[in-house]
Chain A
Amino acid sequence: MTSQITTAEDLQEQKKKKSFLLRTARSPREALLQRVALGFLEFTSNKLALIGALIVIGLIIVAIFAPTIAPFDPNEQNLSIALQAPSSAHWFGTDEYGRDIFSRIVFGSRITLYIVTLVTVTVGPIGLAIGAFSGYYGGIVDVIVMRITDLFLSFPSLILTLAFVAVLGPGLEQAVLAIALTGWPQIARLARVEALTIRKTDYVAASQLQGASDSRIIFRDIIPMCLPSVVIRVTLNMASIILTAAGLGFLGLGAQPPAPEWGAMTSTGRQYMLDSWWVVTYPGLAIMVVSLAFNLFGDGLRDVLDPRSN
């Protein structure tokens, strides 16, 4: 970004698009647009992050068009072709019921995306709100919230998730709920730290002097400022959500058969693994690629949104 500023003079004579990015913003909306555009340019210049973003977009496309992409019905059994090695007909081979593994992985992307989206949509706002309130009000509320998050963070996430699953029972929805229940403290912690520093700023004091209510200050002044770091955290969390969900599926506590959940697929394929390597290899690869993509994407997002990380 600095290089663009130093060469501002030369660039201004160039294209209109560039000059839009560099001129002084004339309205708040223009300033926002400029920042988004600059961030986009910076993000796309980071190759690894771009690859991550492309894989994530690819995952979404595959999930939407799963019935068109998959050559076979993911649940159609045909025992006469059970455990066949990868071939031109069955790209990733077939499993113990003769189901096409490629088609199952394609449909499994829907489950993965479903879990990630649902957990993120619940955990992000709840964690943000709890953290912002606790940081803004401080005092006894803050102490209580922080002790509770301490407790949650003092567990490895999979073990606490298992404890919740034990109560809720196995199943996809229960797994989502359990992962969400263990996920919010991280976000709340982060938002609280941000809120603590923001509440001492002059513009919050100005709002207070003008008679703004607490909830107005929290929603209009504090939460928007917490957003960047929370968004980064949430994106990076997506990778670990995928791994936790796959772990639950592997233990038989996530999505139930015959759902083509990737973790569950590796788990059922385990007994055939020694003779038929493809049964476990491809679902596991799918988990790894997607979680790697979210990691790369999150890293790139952090470089753009969080100037402190550099």
Chain B
Amino acid sequence: MKIPSMPGRVGGVIRFVVTTIITLLLLATLTFFLGQVMPVDPVAHLVGPDADYETYHATYLRLGLDQPIWVQFKLYLGRILTGDFGTAFLTGNSVRADVIRVFPATIELGTLAVIIGAGLGIPLGVLAAVRRNRLSDHIIRVLTLLGHSVPIFWLGMMSLLLFYSHLHWVGGSGRVDIFYEGMVPTRTGLLLIDSVMEGDWEVFESAVRHIILPAAVLGYASMASLCRMTRSFMLEQLGQEYIIAARVKGLSNWRVIWGHAFRNIRVQLLTIVALTYAAMLEGALLIETIFSWPGFGQYLTHNLLMGDLNAMMVCVLLVGLIFITLNIITDLFYKVFDPRTAR
């Protein structure tokens, strides 16, 4: 989401708030609309197939389905604001409790993947820019192009086949070996941190062996896009005159690249990293299915496949919210850290 250029600070803030609110409203409208046209009867879903007409009608009225559509929309907005999303058909818990339960697993996986992706992608991107059109640039280019082109679920399966089934280097599916399941009390929901807090190194080791492969596969995908962006940002900077000035001053190559050129792309990179982090949710959807990772992506696809479209739409709404929030945060980052846009 790009905010248009801002004349005047107060005007800018107002505009920013207004556009954000409009986008959020549109998001609610979209999910509401999709919920309306879904080929599922929400009442039958709630009361079950054996309910008599009285129960059915009472629930129908309770849900406000006899109301005009804008009243229903208002009710829907109210439900979003209070976080009351009804019960999930699959687990019998409230959707809110479910989401809170599954989210940490995805956060853990996604964070590690972004760390791997950024840790490899950014230095490789800088290297590719510095060694432009040399052999190392071409190799990196092929690596990133492959990362853009490979179907991530297939890469996950292939790596499972190789590293788990043949080489036995890593653990298989799930977050931890089955006999360690539930050994550590849940505090943060992040198993790696929980096991360290508990001092249970056996569980920690098992958790590391399980997370490393899905995180590496996801990380490779994010590495590809980060590397590409870093390369083009760096090329832009390296073509500027201040780089020539720095070289003329006699600075070492290292200081020109990291001290001058790289310093100027840090804010841009931060934005891209944040967006990659959000995009991780998409990869997580497929990767969690492959690795039976009990996270958000698996929850979403399970609900979709089992026909619990209400719970699924809540997940979609959440993903939209996360994306919009991250966009706002990166916009703010830009304004705070980049003097050219801060003004």
Chain A interfacial positions (CB closer than 8 Å to B): 147-148, 150-151, 153-160, 162-167, 169, 239, 243, 246-247, 250-253, 263, 266, 270, 273-274, 277, 280-281, 283-284, 287-288, 291-292, 295-296
B169 CB to nearest A CB, Å = 16
* Contacting pair B319 A250 (CB below 8 A): no
Contact B39 A169 (CB under 8 A): yes
Q: Could you tell me if B282 and A251 are in contact, using CB atoms closer than 8 angstroms? A: no
Say whether B178 faces chain A, with CB atoms less than 8 Å apart: no
Contact A296 B145 (CB under 8 A): yes
Q: Is B150 an interface residue (CB 8 A)?
A: yes
Chain B residues bordering chain A, tally (CB within 8 A): 49
A147-B23, A284-B151, A291-B149 as given contacts; A156 in contact with B38, CB under 8 Å: no
Residues of the B chain whose Cβ atoms lie less than 8 Å from the Cβ of A153: 1
Cβ of B86 under 8 Å from chain A: no
Q: Is the CB of A292 within 8 A of B285?
A: no
Nearest first, the 4 A-B pairs at minimum CB distance are A284-B154, A156-B282, A292-B149, A291-B149
Contacts A156-B279, A166-B304, A274-B161 given; indicate if A247 touches B319 (C-beta within 8 A): no
Q: Which residue of B lies closest to A245 (CB)?
A: B151
B286 & A250 in contact (Cβ 8 Å cutoff): yes
Would A159 and B319 count as touching, CB distance under 8 A?
yes
| A163-B36 Cα distance, complex, nearest whole Å | 13
Instruction: Select B148's contact among A163, A284, A295, beta carbons within 8 Å.
Output: A295
A-B contact count (CB 8 A): 134
Please state if A295 and B153 are interface contacts (CB–CB under 8 Å).
no
Q: Are B151 and A147 in contact (CB under 8 A)?
A: no
* Structural contact, B320 and A287, CB atoms closer than 8 A: no
- Decide if A291 touches B151 in the complex (CB within 8 Å): yes
Inter-subunit contact B324/A266 (CB<8 Å):
no
CA distance A284 to B290 in the complex (A): 14
Docked pose: A251 CA to B22 CA in angstroms:
33
Chain B contacts with A in 136-179, Cβ cutoff 8 A: 145-146, 148-155, 157-158, 160-161, 165
Of B53-61, B309-317, B331-339, which stretch is located at the interface? B309-317
> Inside 8 A of B152's CB, which chain A residues have their CB?
243, 247
**A159 contacts B26, C-beta separation under 8 Å:** no
- Contact pattern, B 90-121, Cβ under 8 Å of A = 1, otherwise 0: 00000000000000000000000000000000
Across the interface, do A288 and B154 meet the contact criterion of CB distance under 8 Å?
yes
Contact B30 A151 (CB under 8 A): yes
Distance of A155 Cα from B313 Cα, bound (Å): 13
Partner pick for B151 among A162, A164, A287, A296, CB 8 A cutoff: A287
What are 6 A-B pairs with beta-carbon distances under 8 A?
A151-B27, A155-B323, A156-B279, A250-B286, A284-B158, A292-B149
B151 touches A273 (CB 8 A): no
The verdict on B37 contacting chain A, using a C-beta distance below 8 Å, is yes
Chain B: CB-nearest residue to A274: B165
B153 touches A250 (CB 8 A): yes
Q: Report chain B residues within 8 Å CB of A167.
A: 34, 37-39
The answer to whether A151 touches B151, judged by C-beta atoms less than 8 angstroms apart, is no
Q: Is the CB of A247 within 8 A of B313?
A: no
Tell me if A266 and B154 are in contact (CB < 8 A): yes
* C-alpha gap A159/B30 in the complex (Å): 13
Nearest A-chain residue to B315, judged by Cβ: A159
B203 within 8 A of A: no
The answer to whether B319 touches A156 (Cβ under 8 A) is yes
> What A residues does B146 contact at CB under 8 A?
288, 292
Q: Which chain B residues lie closer than 8 Å to A243 at the CB level?
A: 149, 151-152
> Does B129 have its Cβ within 8 Å of any Cβ on chain A?
no
Whether A247 contacts B151 in the complex (CB less than 8 A), given A150-B1, A167-B38, comes out as: yes
Residues of A within 8 A of B279 (CB): 156
Contacts of A247 in B (CB 8 A): 151-153, 285-286
Cβ–Cβ < 8 Å partners of A158 in chain B: 282, 285-286
From the candidates A151, A159, A246, name the one contacting B23 in the complex (CB within 8 A): A151
The residues of A that contact B316 with a CB separation of less than 8 Å are 155, 159-160, 162-163
Cα–Cα, bound, A68→B31 (Å):
47
Q: Which of B23, B152, B154 is most buried by chain A, counting CB atoms within 10 A of its CB?
A: B154
Q: Within the complex, what minimum Cβ distance (angstroms) separates B142 from chain A?
A: 9
B305 sits at the interface (CB 8 A)? yes
What is the CA–CA distance of A270 and B160 in the complex, to the nearest angstrom?
11
Q: Does B300 contact A (CB under 8 A)?
A: yes
Complex: A167 Cα to B290 Cα, angstroms? 25
A53 → B minimal CB distance (Å): 15
Residue from the list B27, B157, B285, B313 in contact with A284, Cβ < 8 A: B157
Smallest beta-carbon distance B161→chain A, Å: 6
